[in-house]
Chains A and B, each alone.
Chain A
Amino acid sequence: MADEKLLPMSEGLVAFITEWKKKPGNLIMVLHKVQEEYGYIAGEVAIEVSRMLEVPLAKIYGVATFYHLFTLKKPGKNKIAVCMGTACYLKGAQDLLDELDTILSCKAGEKTADDMFSVAGVRCIGCCGLAPVMTINGKVFGNVKREQLPDLLAPFQNAK
């Protein structure tokens, strides 16, 4: 953790936690907000949330590791998500993940050594007509063929 900068909590986040402090179900809401703000749930932030909500750290990790929505690791600069819904799966989503691993040396749920990409297999994102579907930084690409991947990735590989 030494090389990671300490994550300051934004005023908005602090206000949000204070507002939700006494409400039931607050932990999930707060973790959502943290995930939204940082893209993941960092250890230091979890400790801070634990202190503010007076919830044991173990409970926070229990929830954060139970739901798909939350990630505990800092994602890569560019986030690739491959839809693993039934339609996409049948149309070769696994091939796409395999190909991404070949090109980037990065499996689903991991990030590349240079922190440029993280790859995730996600649940159906609701574009079944375009199967197989993947997104890069939220932008949707449909009918993706494995040969197209190098071209799709190229602009992000160069962008600094």
Chain B
Amino acid sequence: MAMVNCLIDGIKVEVAEGTSILNAAKLANVKVPTLCYHPDLTPWAACGICVVKMAGSPKMIRACATPAEEGRNYITQDAELTKTRTTVLEMILADHPDDCLTCGRSGNCELQTIASDFGIREQPFEKNAPRMPKDESTTSIVLNPEKCIKCGRCAIVCQDLQGVYALEFIGRGEHTQLKPAADVLLEDSPCIKCGQCSAHCPVGAIYEKDETKQAIRALANPDLHVVVQMAPAVRVAIGEAFGVEPGTILTGQIYAAMRRLGFDKVFDTNFAADLTIMEEGTEFIHRFTEAKDQLPLITSCCPAWVDYMEKYANDLIPNFSTCKSPMQMEGAMIKTYYAEKMGIDPKTIYSVAIMPCTAKKFEIGSCSDMSSAIGEAQDTDLVLTTRELARMIKQAGIDFVNLPEEEVDPLLGTYAGAATIFGVTGGVMEAALRTAVTVMTGEKLPKVEFEATRGMDGVKTAKLNVKGTEVNIAIAHGMVNIETVLNEVREAKKNGTKTPYDFIEVMACRGGCIGGGGQPTGATDEVRAKRTAGIYNDDEKSVIRCSHDNPDVQAAYKDFLGEPNSHKAHELLHREYIKRPVYNK
């Protein structure tokens, strides 16, 4: 790799060719201020706050988008640069409302932080922050254009990382708004509710729909039996909201905090992840051995991906696994199996799910199959994101990090290591392979890890040799990466040739759910790597590694469901899909 030597304020640094001045400066322990830049995205230099100079030249250049050049000496701070940056900031603040106190991002807003670092105490420019209506049309995210600083991150995430094109710069100059085309609201746009825009927005202009009040109200209602479940990815990320290192596993502390918040029963979505493997693994083996024309089997546990597929890839509906997501399986089991076992009237159960995901808020009411346990009532009543749970814990004054660890409640809580890895890209595939290969070969796996499924490449493919039979798999994460895989499948269908893949896993978010749109903000690949390591640690320290060895799952089949893919399982744990238009108009 060609290297470049340059100076940052006189300090020598060596970086790979093409490295931006911004990143070179980090090696010299300088953090140039940024607003529009995000390490996930190609820089497009919109805001101008990151200006630096070259020694001997008065010209200001944008550090985020300019590669460091050989032999240069870059000046990252002097009186003139500070003045320019301050002016940029003051101009942004002139267009920004001053209601930090009631803003969802107060305390971790990038604009607030920079304004604080710069010691802004006055606003010299005329205030121009008109009131504007919010877009609250979806059940997942809220757009508040008043707060938007037009950095463009959301649109670039939505287009370049997710390939959805729900958001775009509409209009010009000071009238620019980041919103869907054709004057429609998000709900009628192509938006798949992944929430990646909200995870990347530097300010409080796009955020999760806050439903903590509903949870608190339910917890205060003595007539309700309030049950909670938590997704795999929550346990390795929630700590960040309390200043703990990403990837720290806080499962026991979360169970304890949930009990203190007043939940009557604490379950774990991981149980249902094991259940999903039993159902989906069986589905795969059936298609692979007896119905090859129905291959590839495509995973369906990510609701943003399901929404994308129903809009953009509904030609492949027959290839979709009919399995519900683990959250919805758990939800259905809570209001049937658990209610029955405990002799509780399921109508009095209020079922809450803690998810790393904004799309999950949409999923629970997305079609009639989401109400399978008791009549029209939803199987899951409320979804809170990791961020919302963290707020509830703080509001209650719980010293979260120092809580003594507690155990999950039995029946729908115990899980295998295979379940926890659902939280990362490749994890569902790996978990499914652990069980499917065991069943297909009739032998215990010598090694449960499948390395080919791991890592951050947008598309991972592998050929597995299962006792002489070839199994081809593909894994995609970051919604934009799926199209190439789907097109290969479509091409084979068109030509009547053998499918290139037998089993495909898709997760909408980069890195999988650990990088979900409802996780603590500030995720970068560095943070994702730590959360991922936390997930694999959780798996390694599990005594039980494979879903089919989970004793509570075995009991659920024996006492309630019968066999995997049984009639009862189909009623409660499986679903159908519909074609949806890209624009609802």
Residues of A within 8 A of B (CB): 43, 46-47, 56-62, 65-67
Contact = CB atoms under 8 A, between A and B. Distances in A.
B168 A59 contact: yes
Given A46-B181, A46-B182, 9 more contacts: A56-B165, A57-B582, A59-B165, A60-B181, A61-B168, A61-B182, A62-B169, A62-B181, A66-B171
A43 B167 CA distance: 17
A160 to B, nearest CB: 31
Interface in B272-329: none
Interface in B161-194: 165-172, 180-182, 190
7 contacts: A43-B182, A58-B165, A58-B190, A62-B168, A65-B171, A66-B169, A66-B171
B181 A58 contact: yes
Contacts of B165: 56-59
Contacts of B166: 58
B536 interface: no
B44 interface: no
B172 A66 contact: yes
A65 B170 contact: yes
B45 to A, nearest CB: 18
A57 B170 CA distance: 12
Q: Is the interface of A mostly helix, strand, loop or mixed?
A: helix
Q: Name, among B168, B171, B181, the residue most crowded by chain A CB atoms within 10 Å (CB to CB).
A: B181
Contacts of A62: 168-170, 181
A58 B180 contact: yes
Given A43-B182, A46-B182, A58 B159 contact: yes
A43 to B, nearest CB: 6
Q: How many of chain B's residues touch chain A, expressed as a range?
A: 10 to 19
Contacts of A61: 168, 170, 181-182
Contacts of A59: 165, 168
Contact of A57 (B159, B169, B171, B583): B583
Contacts of A67: 172
Interface string B129-171: 0000000000000000000000000000001000001111111
Contacts of A56: 159, 165, 190
Contacts of B169: 62, 66
Contacts of A43: 182
Nearest to B180: A58
A47 B585 CA distance: 11
A62 B167 CA distance: 10
A67 B172 CA distance: 8
Contacts of A57: 165, 181-182, 582-583
Contacts of B168: 58-59, 61-62
B172 A65 contact: yes
Q: Name, among A47, A59, A62, the residue most crowded by chain B CB atoms within 10 Å (CB to CB).
A: A62
Contacts of B582: 57
Nearest to B168: A58
A43 B180 CA distance: 13
A56 B582 CA distance: 10
Contacts of B181: 46, 57-58, 60-62
Contacts of B172: 65-67
- 10 closest A-B pairs by beta carbon, nearest first, are A61-B181, A56-B165, A58-B168, A58-B165, A62-B168, A58-B181, A65-B171, A57-B181, A66-B172, A65-B170
Contacts of A58: 159, 165-168, 180-181, 190
Contacts of B167: 58
A54 to B, nearest CB: 12
A118 B47 CA distance: 36
A6 B582 CA distance: 20
Contacts of B159: 56, 58
A59 B182 CA distance: 11
A43 B181 CA distance: 10
